[in-house]
Amino acid sequence: MDLGLEGQVVVVTGGTDGLGLALSHRLVAEGAKVAICGRDEERLAAARSGLEAAGGTVLAHRCDVADPVELERFCGAVLEHFDRVDGLVNNAGRHAAHRVLEVDDAAFQADLDLKLLAAHRAARALAPSLSVTGGSILNVLAIAGKHPGAGSAPTSISRAAGLALTKALSKDLGPLGVRCNAILIGLVDSGQWRRMAAQSGRALEEFEAELAVAAGIPLGRMGRAEEFADVAAFLLSPRAAYVTGVGLNVDGGLSSAV
């Protein structure tokens, strides 16, 4: 099915590996142009090279999205380079899971800066262009935002706030023709899980199989980044033109929350 993304410009934060990179490749395959950012220059260069080798038109920009100045600079560079934005994917994040009373103020603020405030700032910066193109915003969250478990702070709380942000944006930007949705992932094979497997000294397949069994995923396995990318590309596309304000679980049935 043609998703109608040919020639559209999509911004993907945290687009240098894992979910963000998989989505960027899916968008390029659909004929979209992508603007990616990340903090690591080496990963950024590798991601850009791979996307260009796949035939993509790519803007790659070093940016720590938790820094308001750097994020504003990145958004400005995108608009200057492409002169339009059709989609924004707020994907930047990292794993942070502790018992809630063990999280100090600095850790909480850092998590909110990265996962909530950066998404709000990016949406605020790019909304004028999105309203002209009739574009969409996609916030990449986690199922803990709907169904927090023990030892899931501050991520579960930041992600819950991200879900509220998604709904609020959908209400405020809907009249301007801009849609806003969220994907809440469960255990999906991504860069952070690969790094954790390497740190544990176990093979990736063994590490992921143990996680899937321990979590009790009904489908019996972890998800793949490409499976996430397929859903994300659809939600960003004109094919999902009447879908907004939705928080969609992509978790193999793991969450008990719908």
pLDDT tens across 43-93, in order? 999 999 999 999 999 999 999 999 999 999 999 999 999 999 999 999 998
DSSP reduced 3-state for 32: coil
Helix orientation angle between 118-133 and 155-173, rounded to the nearest 10 degrees = 20
Q: Does one domain contain both 101 and 209?
A: no
Q: Does one domain contain both 229 and 217?
A: no
Q: What pLDDT shows up at residue 241?
A: 98
Structural domain span for residue 210 = 191-222
Percent of the chain with pLDDT over 70: 100
Q: Does one domain contain both 157 and 207?
A: no
Q: Does one domain contain both 242 and 211?
A: no
Residue 49 neighbours by CB distance under 10 Å: 12
pTM: 0.95
For residue range 11-20, list pLDDT tens digits in order: 999 999 999 9
For residue range 124-151, list pLDDT tens digits in order: 999 999 999 999 999 999 999 999 999 9
Give the count of domains, the chain: 2
Q: Does one domain contain both 182 and 198?
A: no
Helices (H) and strands (E) in the chain, counts: 9, 9
4 belongs to a structural domain = no
**DSSP string covering 173-208:** HGGGT-EEEEEEE-SB--HHHHHHHHHHTS-HHHHH
Provide the CATH number for the domain around residue 243: 3.40.50.720
Q: Does one domain contain both 107 and 149?
A: yes
Q: Does one domain contain both 155 and 234?
A: yes
Is 41 within 8 Å of 47 (Cβ atoms)?
no
Is 13 within 8 Å of 251 (Cβ atoms)?
no
Please give the average per-residue pLDDT across 230-253, as a whole number. 98
Is 139 within 8 Å of 107 (Cβ atoms)?
no
